[in-house]
Amino acid sequence: MKVSKAQAAENRQGILDAAARLYRERGLTGVGVADITRDAGLTHGGLYRHFASKDALVQEACTRAFDWSIPVLDGAQPHATVSDRIERYLSPEHRDAPGSGCPVAALAVDAARAGGELSEVFAQGIERNIQRFAQLLADSATDAGGATISPQDRARAIHVLATMVGGLVLARATAAAQPALSDELLTTLQAQLIGLLDEETR
């Protein structure tokens, strides 16, 4: 049966959504084409009508996964502070839901191993997030939107984002064996980062 253009587009989106979630949950090598198509409610062969190869799917799915982190940095709540965003990122809820969370914390090591075009996907996504977070820091320092980003704002953004990602990775790695340690990592880094930013804006 011939599929309409609208249905084909919906199927393609379903594959991308499933792949973006499953890759973050299980890693790039832990997910097969059959897992993705089954999750999307399609047949195995249907995937290759939408993507030239599995590598092409991986790149698009990882690009799609970065759609998560940018809205979170922008904030679902327009008046959310930088501290609110740090707390949301370094939270048990985010730690325990990698499939719907930050692609960097879930897949950075896989991207480094893959190199090439996938590394470029991650480089572009990380750069966008650095710019967004640097803008938030610049705006919070002046209490006005659209402030000019200084080199110091960019350096702080890199520091804070790298600490957040690293902290989340460590919290996930320890959660099953030592949940108290995992929680301690999250709360300690929250307090340290928020305290550091408060000191810098005084």
What value does the mean pLDDT take over residues 26-35? Answer: 93
Per the CB < 8 A criterion, the answer to whether 54 and 44 are in contact is no
Asked whether the predicted pLDDT for residue 179 surpasses 90, the reply is: yes
Q: How many angstroms separate the Cα of 106 from the Cα of each of 47, 98, 166, 181?
A: 24, 6, 11, 19
What value does the mean pLDDT take over residues 135-147? Answer: 82
pLDDT in tens, 155-177: 999 999 999 999 999 999 999 99
Q: Does the global pTM surpass 0.95?
A: no
Q: Which residues contact 150 (CB under 8 A, 6 or more apart)?
A: 138
pLDDT in tens, 72-122: 666 556 667 889 999 999 999 999 999 999 999 999 999 999 999 999 999
Provide the pLDDT for residue 2.
Answer: 65
CA distance 65 to 102: 7
Asked whether the predicted pLDDT for residue 61 surpasses 80, the reply is: yes
| DSSP string over 98-116 | GGGS-HHHHHHHHHHHH-H
- Amino acid, single-letter form, for residue 32: G
Which domains, and CATH codes, for the chain? 54-200 (1.10.357.10)
